[in-house]
Amino acid sequence: MTLLNRILAEKRTLVTVVSAILVIDIALYGFAVYPWSTRVSQSETRTASAEAQLDLVRAAFTVATTASENKSSADSQLKIFYEEVLPRDLAGARVILSPFLDRLAEESDLVLERSSSVPAKGRESLLAQLRTTMMLVGEYEDIRRFIYSLETALEFILIEEVILSQGDEDEEELILTLGLSTYYWAGPDAES
C-alpha cells in the first residue's frame, strides 16, 4: 500500500470532512462571493463613470453660467451705449454731426466748402445711420488737428472715408473730403 492510500484509509473521516468543507467553500465562492465581487466591481466602474459625467456636467454648467453672466454684462453695456452714447433719433444725430463738425472745422481754421447728409436704415437693424460727406479746405497742419480732434471727441462719429487732394497749383491749401457717419436708435420703440 502506498503512503497516500494508507493516509486515506486511516484518516478517512478527517479527509471526508476536509473535502466536504472544501467543496462547500468552492460552492459558496462560486454562488455568493464571486457574483457579489463582480457586482461590486461593476458598481465601482459605474460610480467612476457617473463621477466623470458629473465633472463634465459641472464644467459645462460653469461654462454656461459664465456665458450667461458675460451675455448679461454685454447686454447691460450695450443698453448703456444705446442710451448714453448714441443719439436717440435722427434729429439728435443731425445735432451731433452738423453743429459739432462745423464748430470743429472753424476751431481748426478750416473752411467748410460743402456738406451733405443722408440717413439710411438697414432692413434687419435696430440702428440707422446718418452719413455725412464734408469738403474742407485748409493747410495740412489744420487738417491734422481737425482729424485728431474728431477722433478724440466724445461724440460717436466714425470716419469712413478720407480723401486728401491738392487745390490749385499756386495755392498751398489742401482739399479734404471726409465721409463721416453716426448711428442712432431706430428700433421698434424709436420716437418718430
Q: Is 190 helix (H, G, I), strand (E, B) or coil?
A: coil
pLDDT category of residue 134 using cuts at 50, 70 and 90:
very high
* pLDDT number for residue 192: 44
* pLDDT number for residue 50: 94
Sequence spans of domains, the chain: 1-85, 90-185
The mean predicted confidence, pLDDT, of the chain is 87
Q: Return phi, psi of residue 54, to 5°.
A: -65, -40
CB burial readout 59-89, b (16+ within 10 A) else e: eeeeeeeeeeeeeeeeeeeeeeebeeebbeb
* pLDDT number for residue 190: 53
User: Does the pLDDT value for residue 88 go beyond 60?
Assistant: yes
Q: Give the CA angle between residues 13, 14, 18 to the nearest 5°.
A: 115
Task: DSSP for 111-180, please give it.
Answer: EEEEEEEEEEE-SS-SEEEEEEEEEEEE-HHHHHHHHHHHHHSSS--EEEEEEEEE--TT---EEEEEEE
Mean pLDDT confidence for 37-49: 91
* pLDDT number for residue 46: 94
Q: pLDDT tens digit string along 155-185? A: 888 999 999 988 776 677 899 999 999 988 7
Mean pLDDT confidence for 96-120: 89
* pLDDT number for residue 187: 67
Q: What gap in Å lies between CA 135 and CA 113, rounded to an integer?
A: 5
pLDDT category of residue 66 using cuts at 50, 70 and 90:
very high
User: Does the pLDDT value for residue 14 go beyond 70?
Assistant: yes
Q: Which is nearest to 138 in space by CA: 112, 162, 103?
A: 112
User: Does the pLDDT value for residue 84 go beyond 50?
Assistant: yes
Mean pLDDT confidence for 32-53: 91
User: Does the pLDDT value for residue 142 go beyond 50?
Assistant: yes
Domain 90-185: homologous superfamily in CATH:
Ribosomal protein S6/Translation elongation factor EF1B (3.30.70.60)
Cell 456636467 -> residue: 57
Q: Which is nearest to 136 in space by CA: 99, 93, 174, 166?
A: 174
Report CA 123 to chain centroid distance, whole Å.
25
